Structure 1
Amino acid sequence: MTTKLTKQTHFDAIIIGGGACGLMCAVQAGFLGKRTLILEKADRVGAKILISGGGRCNYTNLYATDQQFISQNPHFSKSAFSQWTVEDTISFFETYGIEGKEKTLGQLFPVSDKAKDVVQVFIDLCADLDQDIWCNAEVKIVEKTDDGFTVRVEIDGKQEYISAPNVVIAAGGLPIPKMGATDFGLRTARQFDMKIADTAPALVPLTITGKDQPWYEQLSGNSIFCRVWNDRISFEENILFTHWGLSGPAILQISSYWKPGESIYIDLLPNQNIADLIQLEKETNGKKMLLAYLASLYTRKFAEALSDKLPVEKNLASLTKTEIEDLSELIHNFKVKPAGDKGYDKAEVMRGGVSTDELSSKTLEAKKVPGLFFGGECVDVTGWLGGYNFQWAWASGFVIAQNI
């Protein structure tokens, strides 16, 4: 997308960030007859939308409520989600030609499986509604003035100064810096003496180092449906072994609730009892070797990997009660102590951000700085994997548009 320069000098709001929140904010403001200017650092808007869901964009989740979000104030998102619901998201996109199809666990994707179709809806609407978009526009600073704000932005090496009564910070979070992610939203909040909830990578793979790493490395590429949990929450989805540790949906989910130094636990056979299964098998096929039996439940490679932890050379009939108890403990309470995570390069979102204490839950306006709004990922509202963070982005963009 090329930078659109304009002679327009008056905007109701300057929106910093052309991602999901910023684009929705501009469009919804346009519906209300307000003029906005999106300033996007990259050479096109919607970069993270385009790569989401493997380029297919799971643009909401049918089951999204405030319950699937992490925040120091778990009630903060309720107001936004009551103002802009999942049904509103579905209706909005259907109106502009995007029908949804449900996949795993309520995730909604465009029927076309093309994330670019989602972005194009906003590009077309911004053009139709006369909302300006400047790409390759790096905002340097936001300054408060007597009648609003002045934003200093660099475009093609030249400094521009733009004024507006309202500024919307929709600049995203820290993940995927190679796509241009920065801490601009956090820096701006600090500039105005606003509190920041501690930030960390979320929805991120976990690493295993030291003596345990070779065991995980040999299983790289193996995927198993599991229940993963800690003392705060549990998820049932696939895990993926990698040469550096663990990934897959269940691991990404639990990572948002994991802190360095903690262990997580994995039930490698959820909703079944390995001891009961072996007892049943013994009655009809007691001569079967434990290794062969495990290979019928998992991949042969995974069964073999368990050989250093279990008496896999024995047949089922000869397993002692203690051996079956040990097997059950290993299968149903597999303990993992991650060394760390893969960081912002591989994280899908950021946990933490601008403290919800600093914002009105009804308008997302900064309490200390009238006319300054924060939405999307830079706020301390972090959703689960599977379209939830998009729902927050759309909702926060809508809410801000009503109040600028």
Structure 2
Amino acid sequence: MNNYDAIIIGAGACGLMCAVQAGMLGKKTLVLERNEKPGAKILISGGGRCNYTNLYTSTDNFVSENPKFLNAVFAQWTVDDTVAFFENFGNIEGQEKTLGQLFPVSNKAKDIVATFTQLMYDTGQDIWLNTLVKELKQEGTGYVLTLERNGRIEYITAPKVVFASGGLPVAKLGASDFALRTARGLGLEVVPTAPGLVPLTITGKEADWYASLSGNSVYARVYNDKISFEENILFTHWGLSGPAILQISSYWRAGESFTIDLLPKFKLRELIAAERNAGGKRTVGQLLQGYFTKKMVEALARFLPIDVKIASLSKADANLVVDTIHQFKVKPAGDKGYDKAEVMRGGVSTAELNPKTLESKKYPGLYFGGEAVDITGWLGGYNFQWAWAAGYAIAQDI
């Protein structure tokens, strides 16, 4: 027999926060992690710098069948709580980058993980690394887990189990559908999953045009009928990436198109009019070179009369130039899949969970948090804020 109050599957952001918060309340937990070290995804986030929250977090920054589900959790654990937690327990001060993104001043994700490993030690929590959880079964008023550890199959029981095992992105870090398979096996609803915050691919006759611009970054507004994002886009040899593309990908479905305003800070029609008033001696291409790289202007020659002088530009061609730059249509063929995705869309339906505790409504003592749930944040620290808040909320109930 063991004396664990709960077993937590996954030593990621949600699982680690859950363990230390439970420990602070005098509980004893065991964290099971299939990797050889905790916080594997934390360590690579933000290029190893870890954008650990966003100062402007609200339910509007999440994709879910029911984003308002987050209200009860975020009421318990706020962005201020996250900032204070890392300042007090990790001596980590945050520095704001763009759009409310908060990084450690040290720019080291390992400082975030070190905060948790120290607190795990201080509060007497246990962690088993290189441990694969293979099955969960309900037994009496608790649960029994089948583990593969040290080359052997073992069994362990606990009155409460927390699924903080993440989702499908980045298989090399141990990504797994274990939480989803278990939920389905228990008869819980799982919202269909797909890669989120993921680069998009272009194939067919347009592919060579995008590839010719590989490496070029453009500040743009990317939008569809659901949402709009204004950040950089990056052309690649297989399509499009960059912050604005990753953001729109969570609101995109196969077969759909979206629009890019390649010059969101200016009104090209007004620039053309001003050029006409100045004599219109410059060509369309020369005008555009004031706002784009030479390579970009050359590529746009495929669609635009860039060698025509502004003074000679017909109304129809002027409209073509304006519409192409401000309303550039894109219809991706697909995405780069889970290995290139930052997160997973979909997951265990929020309808199955208590919004305050994240406990299963059908299975007492069984909790789901983090990426396994149908809660997907935007790029920029939102997913970490959800993970910390979920871990805290679950710990309060444990």
- What is the CA–CA distance in structure 2 between the aligned matches of 1:174 and 1:217, rounded to whole Å? 28
Alignment of 1:205 with 2:207, yes or no, is no
Give the drift of 1:240: 0.2
What is the CA–CA distance in structure 2 between the aligned matches of 1:311 and 1:154, rounded to whole Å?
65
1: distance between equivalents of 2:88 and 2:40? 23
Match of 1:263 in 2: 257
Paired residues for 1:8-47 under 5 Å: 9-47=2-40
The amino acid of 2:103's aligned partner reads F
1:131/1:169 CA distance change after superposition, 3 Å: same
Find the residue that maps to 1:292 and give its secondary structure.
helix
CA distance in structure 2 between the partners assigned to 1:383 and 1:180 by the alignment: 21
2:345 matched residue in structure 1: 351
2:103 aligned with 1:92, yes or no?
A: no
In structure 2, the residue matched to 1:130 is 124
Question: Is it true that 1:121 corresponds to 2:115 in the alignment?
Answer: yes
Moved more, 317-326 or 258-267: 317-326
C-alpha distance in 2 between matches for 1:247 and 1:58 = 19
Instruction: Tell me what 1:172 maps to.
Output: 166
**Aligned residue type for 1:215:** W
**What does residue 82 of structure 1 align with?**
75
Percent identical among aligned pairs is: 62
Q: CA deviation at 1:285?
A: 5.3
Whether contact under 8 Å (1:10, 1:163) holds in the other structure is no
Q: Distance in 2 between matches of 1:294 and 1:271?
A: 14
After superposing on structure 2, the runs of 4+ consecutive aligned residues of structure 1 that deviate more than 3 Å are none
Q: What residue identity is the alignment partner of 1:132?
A: D
Q: Paired residue for 1:312?
A: 306
Asked if structure 2 preserves the Cα contact closer than 8 Å seen for 1:56 and 1:115, the reply is: yes
Q: 1:222 & 1:282 partners in 2: Cα distance? A: 29
SS of corresponding position for 2:289: helix
- 3-state DSSP of counterpart to 1:390: helix
Query: Deviations for 1:25-75, whole angstroms, at most 9, x for unmatched residues?
Result: 000000000000000001111000000001000000000011111111121
Instruction: Determine the structure 2 residue equivalent to 1:330.
Output: 324
Residue identity in the other structure for 2:112:
V
Is residue 2:251 matched to residue 1:253? no
* Aligned AA (2:113): V
Deviation at 1:366, TM superposition (A): 0.4
Secondary structure in 2 matching 1:350: strand
Residue 400 of structure 1 pairs with residue 394 of structure 2: yes
Which residue number corresponds to residue 5 of structure 1? none
- Look up the match of 1:364: 358
Structure 2: how far apart are the matches of 1:285 and 1:115?
A: 55
Q: 1:284: how far off?
A: 2.6
**1: distance between equivalents of 2:371 and 2:350?**
12
CA–CA distance in structure 1, aligned partners of residues 300 and 181 of structure 2? 48
TM-score by length of 1: 0.97
Per-residue CA deviations over 1:138-167 (Å, capped at 9, x if unaligned) read: 001111111311111111111221111100
State the distance in 2 between where 1:73 and 1:380 align.
8
Partner of 1:273: 267
The superposition leaves residues 364-391 of structure 1 with CA deviations (integer Å, 9 ceiling, x where unpaired) of 0001100000000000000000000000
TM-score (norm 2): 0.99
Aligned mates of 1:94, 1:363 — CA distance in 2: 26
What secondary structure, in the 3-state scheme, does the structure 2 residue paired with 1:297 have? coil
Aligned to 2:184: 190
Aligned twin of 1:381:
375
Equivalent position amino acid for 1:249 in 2: P
Q: Distance between the aligned counterparts of 1:285 and 1:319, measured in 2? A: 12
> How many pairs are equivalent?
397
For 1:68, the equivalent position in structure 2 comes to: 61
Question: 1:281: Cα distance to partner?
Answer: 2.3
Distance in 2, matches of 1:156 and 1:210, equals 49
Partners in 1 of 2:302 and 2:186 — Cα distance? 57
Does the CA-based 8 Å contact 1:21-1:376 persist in structure 2?
yes
Amino acid at match of 2:297: A
Which runs of 5 or more structure 1 residues have no equivalent in the other structure? 1-7
Q: Does structure 1 residue 143 correspond to structure 2 residue 137?
A: yes
Per-residue deviation, residues 101-134 of structure 1 (Å, max 9, x unmatched)? 0001000000000000000000010011100010
| CA displacement 1:179-229 (0-9 Å, x = unmatched) | 110101101111211010010000000000010000000000000000000
Q: Which amino acid in the other structure matches residue 46 of structure 1?
A: G
Partners of 1:175 and 1:349 within 8 A in 2: yes
Cα deviation, 1:247-305, whole Å, max 9, x if unaligned, reads 00000000000000000100011132101011112323521121121111100000000
SS of structure 1 residue aligned to 2:298:
helix
The unaligned stretches of length 5 or more in structure 2 are none
8 Å contact from structure 1 (residues 239, 247) kept in 2:
yes
Query: Cα RMSD (Å) of the superposition?
Result: 0.9
Counterpart for residue 4 of structure 1 = none
* CA distance in structure 1 between the aligned counterparts of 2:276 and 2:45, rounded to whole angstroms: 47
Question: For residues 208-247 of structure 1, what are the structure 2 equivalents within 5 Å?
Answer: 208-247=202-241
